[in-house]
Homo-oligomer: A and B are copies of this chain.
Amino acid sequence: MIKPIIKTLWWENGRLYIIDQRVLPEKERILELKNIRDVWESIRNLSIRGAPAIGCVAAYGVTLSALRIDTKDSKGFIKEIKSNIKYLKTSRPTAYNLFFALSRMERVLEEFSDMSISWLKERLLKEAENIYREDLDCCYKIGVNGARLIQDNMNILTHCNAGGLATSGYGTALAVFFTAKKQKKKFNVFVNETRPVLQGARLTTWELKKAGIPYTLICDNMAGYLMNLGRIDMIITGADRIAKNGDTANKIGTYSLAVLAKYHKVDFYIAAPYSTFDPSIKNGKDIPVEERDAEEVRKIKGRLIAPSDAPVYNPAFDITPTHLIKGFITEDGIIKKPGGWLSG
């Protein structure tokens, strides 16, 4: 049984807990999510973020809501949970793992609609636990598969946080580093701070420090210059949604990195479990890109850094076309040539 490296979210005695990612690394604050509204809010306000982590917490959130329903009306029970699932789907539009996990929970209700309410409650909990365990397992395998790419003295750049905090606790891009570290490889990670929400500066640094992995924090606009100086050997990021052709939605700034990597002949990899692959979407053009509040750009830690009425454009993600991606590090291995994997 794989153990999480970071305790991101957990279910304990019928209660759902998360670490509040908004206040890391200054404070390690635990939040209990007590109802479906809490779960929705925690996803929307980024207390929990990262595509696989969102999927897990949403699945547990559905379970939580099911356990709280006190009724003998089976149809009403299923109807209410389905409405909660629909509600959670509105929390964030881009990460596919959210829809992947919620669809699995929904399928339980559909497949077993003639079972008793108490049986269904147990089955929903089991499904959430499966989603969580499978993610942990996938992330572990991503680590093992990706670590083969890491050689001594390499400098690897990562963007945003594709770590334990973004998953059930083992990470995707960072799983590669965790595993390589266990294999006693010596390498340095350049961490893009990742404006506007600074997941790199706040979360990835915190995880790497905990794991004893050497890192260097940079501003996002420094990565190209470092590549030009020959100081970046490889780039690995996570993903929020991957279309059938391999076009990948990930944190804003990923696309620029991929173009810069191409220009400087630096290998650019995406690390993600299959739950991030959306078979219903042909290419990146059809992936919805969330635009978030202007205040995320105008303010940092509550302090204004621009005129209070500054017009802002704040897309949370961008789309990297498949031809800029050298390979996808998945639980099944590194897929070098995207295309056909989902139809197969």
On A, residues with C-beta under 8 Å from B are 25-26, 190, 192-196, 198, 201-202, 205-206, 209, 214-226, 228, 252-253, 255-256, 259-260, 262-263, 297-298, 300-301, 303-307, 310-315, 318-319
Cα-based distance from A262 to B193 in the complex (angstroms): 25
A-side binding surface: helix, strand, loop or mixed?
mixed
CB of B310 within 8 A of CB of A224, answer: no
Q: Which residue of B lies closest to A25 (CB)?
A: B307
Least distance between A103 CB and chain B CB atoms (Å): 29
CB of B306 within 8 A of CB of A218, answer: no
**Considering the complex of A and B, which 10 residue pairs feature the smallest CB-CB distances, nearest first?**
A221-B253, A224-B256, A225-B318, A195-B219, A220-B221, A201-B306, A301-B303, A300-B300, A217-B310, A217-B312
Q: Which residue of B lies closest to A312 (CB)?
A: B217
CB of A223 within 8 A of CB of B193, answer: no
Least distance between A274 CB and chain B CB atoms (Å): 26
Cα-based distance from A195 to B306 in the complex (angstroms): 12
**Neighbouring B residues of A314 by C-beta, 8 Å:** 218-219, 222
Least distance between A287 CB and chain B CB atoms (Å): 13
Least distance between A237 CB and chain B CB atoms (Å): 12
Cα-based distance from A195 to B198 in the complex (angstroms): 12
Q: Of B225, B252, B319, which is within 8 A of A221 by CB?
A: B252
Contacts A217-B297, A217-B312 known; 12 new A-B pairs at CB < 8 A: A202-B305, A205-B310, A216-B312, A217-B298, A217-B306, A217-B313, A224-B256, A225-B253, A225-B319, A259-B260, A300-B301, A301-B303
Q: Could you list 16 A-B pairs, sorted by A, with CB under 8 Å?
A: A193-B297, A194-B221, A198-B306, A217-B311, A218-B312, A221-B221, A221-B253, A224-B253, A224-B318, A225-B252, A225-B256, A225-B318, A226-B313, A259-B263, A262-B263, A301-B301
Q: Quick one: which of A26, A216, A224 has the most chain B CB within 10 A?
A: A224
Q: Which residue of B lies closest to A220 (CB)?
A: B221
* Given A26-B304, A304-B26, also A311-B224 (CB < 8 A): no
Least distance between A329 CB and chain B CB atoms (Å): 22
**Neighbouring B residues of A253 by C-beta, 8 Å:** 219, 221-222, 224-225
CB of A215 within 8 A of CB of B311, answer: yes
Cα-based distance from A252 to B26 in the complex (angstroms): 28
CB of A201 within 8 A of CB of B301, answer: no
**Neighbouring B residues of A226 by C-beta, 8 Å:** 313
**Neighbouring B residues of A218 by C-beta, 8 Å:** 297, 312-314
Least distance between A317 CB and chain B CB atoms (Å): 9
Cα-based distance from A194 to B201 in the complex (angstroms): 16
CB of A313 within 8 A of CB of B222, answer: yes
* Given A217-B310, A315-B225, also A193-B305 (CB < 8 A): yes
**Neighbouring B residues of A306 by C-beta, 8 Å:** 25, 193, 198, 201-202, 205, 217
Q: Which residue of B lies closest to A264 (CB)?
A: B259
* Given A256-B260, A260-B259, A311-B216, also A305-B198 (CB < 8 A): yes
Least distance between A186 CB and chain B CB atoms (Å): 15
**Neighbouring B residues of A318 by C-beta, 8 Å:** 222, 224-225, 228
**Neighbouring B residues of A256 by C-beta, 8 Å:** 221, 223-225, 256, 260
